Amino acid sequence: MLNIVICEDDKIWLHSLTKIIQNIIEKNNLEAQIVLKSTNIEKVREFLKNNSANVFFLDIDFNAEKSGYALASEIRQSNVSAYIIFITAYLEYLMLAFKVQAFDFLPKPVTSEILEATLMNISENYINHKHLSSQPHKLNIKMGTSISSINTSDIVLIEKVASKTVIHLVNNDQKACRHPLEYLESKLPSNHYIRCHRAFIVNKKFIEEINTKENLIFLETGFSCPIGGKYKKNLLKHYSYI
């Protein structure tokens, strides 16, 4: 079940968002419900002490510097799989959305069509995640005369180096094979991994920052990799930048 919290400091916007989201839930028969709507982030904090939620529509500003971001940071620390969606007129806060791994960033005024697309994406992702979490995901690769089985959740980055493909893992280990990136990409769950360059595939959960000026992705593990022009539009779609 998707338990939705809406926190918006403008009462008119809060009422509008609540009404639109409720209509979308009913129209698409989504397994979802609004559990809290408020103009006060402190009420959200109090609510979460004794209740659970996994979808958060947040205004990142709240008339106080970065307070919406602070709330999002707290949510992310306690719930690594929460869906955080920023709805704001302050586009300069976009990079903050990456730091808390926001699912979406919607500039005001947001339309019902955009909200519906976002909720449908969340629902699909949630269903896929439940399916994926119910069974271990393995990637089998051929290494010389042997076959190695890797937990896909341990993969941070895959890169093409000359004639080899190098798989970087969370424990700083590496696996080298000769499988094309296209083959490995087809074997990975698309909701967790993304092609960002002709020579790179990244695990989205490790993305810390996307620098669109320098066309670089910085990962939590210290790795960085380039963004290819061919893949940039698709990459940024995941964060509603375009």
- pLDDT digits 0-9 by tens, 32-76: 999 999 999 899 999 998 898 999 999 876 555 456 788 888 898
What is the distance between the alpha carbons of residues 202 and 135, in angstroms, rounded to a whole number? 22
Class of domain 138-237: mainly beta
- Ordered by start, the domain boundaries in the chain are 2-133, 138-237
Q: Structure tokens of 141? A: 């690769």
At the second CATH level, the architecture of 2-133 is: 3-Layer(aba) Sandwich (3.40)
H and E: helices and strands count for the chain: 7, 15
Using the predicted structure, report yes or no on whether residue 124 has a pLDDT greater than 50: yes
pLDDT in tens, 186-216: 888 777 899 999 999 999 889 988 998 999 9
Residue 69 and residue 60 in contact, taking contact as beta carbons nearer than 8 Å: yes
Q: Which two tokens stand for residue 207?
A: 């993305």
Look at residue 203 and give its three-state secondary structure: strand
DSSP state of 122: H
Residue whose entry in the numeric block shows the structure tokens 């979802």: 32
Specify the amino acid at residue 186.
S
Ramachandran category for residue 209: left, alpha or beta (phi over 0 → left; psi -120 to 50 → alpha): beta
Distance CA 242, CA 232 (A): 10
> What is the separation of C-alpha 196 from the centre of its chain, rounded to a whole number of angstroms?
15
